[in-house]
Amino acid sequence: MAADSSVPPKSCGQPHFWRFHETLAVPMSLFCHNRARLVSRLQAKGEVTAAGTFVVLQGGVDVPFNDTDTNWPFRQESFFQWCFGVEEPGCYGALDVGTGASILFVPRLPPEYAIWEGKLHTLDDFKERYSVNEAHYTDEIARVLKEKRARLLLTLNGRNSDSGLLSREAIFDGISEFKVDNSILYPEICECRVIKSREEIEVLRYVCMISSEAHKAVMRSVRPEMAEYKAEACFQNYVYNMGGCRHVSYTCICGSGHNSSILHYGHAGAPNDKVIMDGDMCLFDMGGNYCGYAADITCSFPANGKFTEDQKFIYNAVLKARDAVLAAAKPGVTWTDMHLLANRVMLTSLKEGGLLVGDVEGMIRAGLNEVFQPHGLGHLLGLDVHDVGGYLPGHPERSKEAGLRKLRTARTLLAGMALTVEPGCYFIDCLLDAALVSPKQSKFIVREQLQRFRGFGGVRIEDDVLITEDGVENLTNVPRTVEEIEKFMAGAKNAKVN
């Protein structure tokens, strides 16, 4: 059990996740309400008889670093986090669908744990800490469920539409003695995760606020001749030191110059190791993680704090696309339409600037939108940075059309959804080369104008937003216009001089 480092805020009045000082206290009621939402949804399903039906989830486990006796920093499995908010590895949880009662199962630890890892907590400690109805040891799961006359166990089994990987299905000694259904739970818990509760929204507001401030700290620190990884280090230090975010939600992307056109730059083969040069565009995509909830923000700006005319041209094309989506997104509109809206606005701007010619709708039919923005407009956001629920039964399937096939969801927007809005414009050599030899696409491209953007890199503007009853709430707060960015970075430079 993780111990608080000090006395918690008096306003909490209940068990909570909290790091210290000004960090957000997340009440365990958030997870109690999540469990209640899931139980209510399952009770409404005709094929589920509540009496004797239990949801059984398996939490994450410690993962060794190769064959050594050290482990990777632990992060809880997302579905288990959503239901229980438990920080320790090796746990299980069960929900009685008939009564809504919750049971937490924790590992039975050896006495030596107290020497190496800390205090051995009692079952009552865990029951109180995580606001569950009962706590038992993991070697008692079968016995406890039998005593409660469990007739049917609902386990998690589903394929993530972004990764293609299967979720972790609970297994335990004695599970073969129960009837198990692994098809009902996954779509239902995913649908619950798509719509954020009031308490979840508060956590997302917090982690987006901290991540926004961290991006601004990076903008203040960046200068030519600085290594990209120093921007990553600055971001990670801020979200942890100031916000209590021990983890980031994904590998930080700190691309400068041509690297800003590499969509998932920053991986082990390209570890943010270039030196930022005067005149480079920087594209920094980073998000903190607090209590399991993710932020995902991208800022693009010139390393020296002053946009060139070409940089301003491309940046404003992307900004106009973002602004159009923020103005149009609301419940009832489809994400596909928002993506195409962003594409049209950006291509129109590129045409007005002399980079493209011809009919914009014709460009989209030819797939030119995917040449300059080879990714979707954005994705659902929550406990996973690419959150679950993008493609589920009863909702539109993934399109096979160019320009739409990379969308991570095609759903109709609903109040309570959290998503990223992240239009981009990139100059990726392999895509440009293919477009220039394509009769359908090359006719729209002004070759001599395009040539000067070779090596430019790219621009992405990514905001985290909440769909409200009548529009959107932007959870991101960073300088966005050219004027705002230049003023902010100029102020940072002056402060350093003084």
Q: What pLDDT is attached to residue 46?
A: 80
Q: What is the pLDDT of residue 14?
A: 81
Q: Alpha carbon of 98 to those of 36, 54, 102: distances in Å?
A: 11, 8, 11
Sole residue written with tokens 């209640």: 36
Q: Is the pLDDT of residue 7 over 50?
A: no
Q: In 3-state terms, what secondary structure has residue 265?
A: coil
Spatial distance between the Cα atoms of 431 and 427, rounded to a whole number of angstroms: 8
Whether residue 4 is predicted with pLDDT greater than 50 in this model: the reply is no
- Statement: residue 9 has pLDDT above 50: no
d(CA 237, CA 243): 9
Q: Which residue has the tokens 């230049």?
A: 486
Query: Looking at the predicted structure, is the pLDDT value of residue 468 above 60?
Result: yes
- List, in order of start, the domains of the chain with CATH numbers: 16-194 (3.40.350.10), 198-495 (3.90.230.10)
Q: What percent of the chain has pLDDT over 90?
A: 93
| DSSP label at residue 366 | T
Average pLDDT taken over every residue of the chain: 95
Task: Give the start-end residues of each E strand in 334-448.
Answer: 418-421, 424-426
Nearest to 211 by CA among 141, 107, 143, 294: 294
Longest dimension (CA), the chain: 77
Please compute, for residue 372, the number of CA atoms within 13 A of its CA located in the half-sphere on the CB side. Answer: 33
pLDDT score recorded for residue 30: 98
Q: Average the pLDDT over each of 104-113, 192-201, 370-379, 488-497 and give the range with the smallest value.
A: 488-497
Pseudo-torsion of CA 270, 272, 275, 280, nearest 10°?
Answer: 100
Which residue in the block uniquely carries the two structure tokens 């916000």? 243
Strand 472-474 and strand 463-467: the pairing is antiparallel
Residue 8 has a pLDDT of 47
pLDDT tens digits, one per residue of 138-172: 999 999 999 999 999 999 999 999 999 999 999 99
Question: Taking 60 as the threshold, does the pLDDT of residue 497 lie above it?
Answer: no
CA atoms within 13 A on the CB side of 152: 15
CA nearest 472: which of 359, 373, 332?
Answer: 332
The pLDDT value given to residue 5: 39
CA angle 421, 163, 153 (to 5 degrees): 110
Q: What pLDDT sits at residue 57?
A: 98
One-letter amino acid at 271 equals P
Strand partners, 166: 159
Kindly state the average pLDDT of the residues 325-336. 98
**The pLDDT of residue 333 is above 80:** yes
- CA separation for the pair 127, 259 (Å, rounded): 49
Cβ contact 382:293 at 8 Å: yes
pLDDT value at 488 more than 60: yes
Q: Which residues touch 46 (CB under 8 Å, ≥6 apart)?
A: none
> Which residues, including other chains, have CB under 8 Å from residue 430's CB and lie 6 or more apart?
none
Question: What are residue 300's DSSP bridge partners?
Answer: 283
Per-residue pLDDT band for 116 (boundaries 50, 70, 90) equals very high
pLDDT tier for residue 47 given thresholds of 50, 70 and 90:
confident
Between CA 202 and CA 382 the distance in angstroms is 12
In the predicted model, is pLDDT for residue 3 greater than 60?
no
Quick one: pLDDT band at residue 496, thresholds 50, 70, 90?
A: low
Distant-in-sequence, close-in-space partners of 176: CB < 8 Å, separation ≥ 6 = none
3-class SS of residue 147: helix
- Res 1: pLDDT: 42
pLDDT score of 21 more than 90: no
State the pLDDT confidence band at 50, using cuts at 50, 70 and 90. confident
How large is the average pLDDT for residues 164-183? 96
Q: Is the separation of the CB atoms in 92 and 141 below 8 Å?
A: yes
390-438: pLDDT as tens digits: 999 999 999 999 999 999 999 999 999 999 999 999 999 999 999 999 9
